[in-house]
């Protein structure tokens, strides 16, 4: 036997892995129709709900619109400050006097916002902004 013959490996056929079963064929047209129907129902649902509030350019309503926007932002900031004060109070970084002062200031600010809102016939639930896909501000 020659060297070439002794080093040659014997060819052994490999076993092929079993093929996984094929998924059932999906009717693409049916899937697209179902998806379109779903989107149509969602659009109809969104259209039937009230439209998001928009800025009113009516000259008689400009003051009310500006007041609503400003009061909404002030209320949002007040809520942020309140949450920060609670975190600081729980962390023990505020003295009792500071906690009392912050609480009193935030209460007075909330009263002031409500009083000004009442002057413009705005309810507390009116003080929010619709941010579209993100949701409502508060």
Which residues is 130 bridged to in the sheet? 136
Lowest mean pLDDT among 51-60, 67-76, 86-95, 108-117: 51-60
Q: Which residues contact 103 (CB under 8 A, 6 or more apart)?
A: 85
What percent of the chain is predicted at pLDDT more than 70?
62
Phi, psi angle pair for 123, to nearest 5°: -85, 155
Instruction: Tell which residue, 13, 6, 131, 26, has the closest CA to residue 72.
Output: 131
DSSP three-state, residue 136? strand
Which residues is 8 bridged to in the sheet? none
What percent of the chain is predicted at pLDDT more than 90?
28
What is the per-residue pLDDT across 17-50, written as a single tens digit (0 to 9) for each?
666 666 555 565 666 777 778 777 777 776 666 5
Distance between CA atoms of 42 and 71, rounded to whole angstroms? 33
Task: Work out whether the CA dihedral 88, 94, 100, 106 comes out positive or negative.
Answer: negative
What is the per-residue pLDDT across 87-109, written as a single tens digit (0 to 9) for each?
998 999 989 999 999 999 999 99
**Averaged confidence pLDDT in the chain:** 77
Domain boundaries, the chain: 62-131
pTM, 2 dp = 0.54
Q: Which residues contact 36 (CB under 8 A, 6 or more apart)?
A: none
- Decide if pLDDT at 111 tops 90: yes
């Amino acid at each position: 036997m020659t060297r070439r013959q002794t080093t040659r490996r014997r060819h052994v056929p490999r076993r092929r892995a079993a093929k996984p079963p094929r998924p059932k064929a999906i009717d693409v047209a049916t899937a697209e129709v179902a998806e379109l129907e779903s989107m149509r129902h969602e659009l109809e649902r969104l259209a039937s709900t009230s439209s998001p509030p928009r800025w009113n350019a009516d000259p008689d309503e400009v003051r009310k619109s500006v007041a609503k926007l400003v009061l909404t932002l002030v209320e949002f900031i007040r809520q942020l400050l309140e949450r920060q004060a609670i975190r600081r109070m729980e962390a023990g970084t505020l003295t009792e006097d500071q906690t009392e002062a912050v609480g009193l200031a935030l209460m007075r600010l909330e009263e002031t916002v409500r009083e000004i809102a009442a002057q413009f016939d705005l309810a507390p639930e009116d003080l929010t902004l619709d941010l579209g896909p993100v949701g409502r501000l508060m």
